[in-house]
Amino acid sequence: MNADAARHIPENRIIQMIADGGGRRDEQEHLDRCGPCRDMMAALASDLDQLRQQAVLATPAPQRHFVLPADRPHWHRFRRWGWAAAGTALSAALLTIFLWGGGDDRLPGLPPTTPPVAALDDPEMIEVNMLAENALPEVYLVLSESLVGGYDEGFIDFLIPSLDDDSVS
């Protein structure tokens, strides 16, 4: 390798400079001063241009035509959600008006859903409420209140005989 070749920019670096669109400052200064490097760069650039032209000519036309969607502004994404939010707010407002408005008789022709006040004072309803609280008649309640100490063992055996005894048979 002679001293003249050692001072020139290598071919792979010139190719890199063409691809990047420029090089370091010292390489640019060298290209301004050195004719052979400048000629090599021009030859490589013209070869690259010829390759580009051949690639365009050799490329077949696409079978389908592709169209990319147009860029939409950022507010376009939120417009759809705006309609959904408005619909939700309207539904909530209508539901609130329906539940709060209309009084007791919301559906005319049907009996009201709340019981009338007179039904609570009805003697039969009073008896039903008493049976719901304690189903035993008052006689048994009085009898059970008299047994303050509870039931003894003999009384329980009298009511529920044990299975070991054959006294029942």
Each residue's pLDDT tens digit, 83-134: 788 889 999 999 888 777 655 555 666 666 666 666 667 888 888 877 787 7
Retrieve residue 40's tokens: 């090599």
Whether the pLDDT of residue 75 is over 90: the answer is no
pLDDT of residue 65: 82
Give the pLDDT of residue 2: 45
Higher pLDDT, 166 or 61: 61
Q: Angle CA(133)–CA(139)–CA(143) in degrees, nearest 5?
A: 100
**pLDDT(138) > 70:** yes
- Residue 107: its pLDDT value, please? 62
Give 3's pLDDT tier (boundaries 50, 70, 90).
very low
pLDDT greater than 60 at residue 146: yes
> Closest Cα partner for 41 from 68, 22, 58, 25?
22
CA distance linking residue 39 with residue 51, whole number of Å: 18
Place of tokens 């039931």: 151
Whether pLDDT at 37 is above 80:
yes
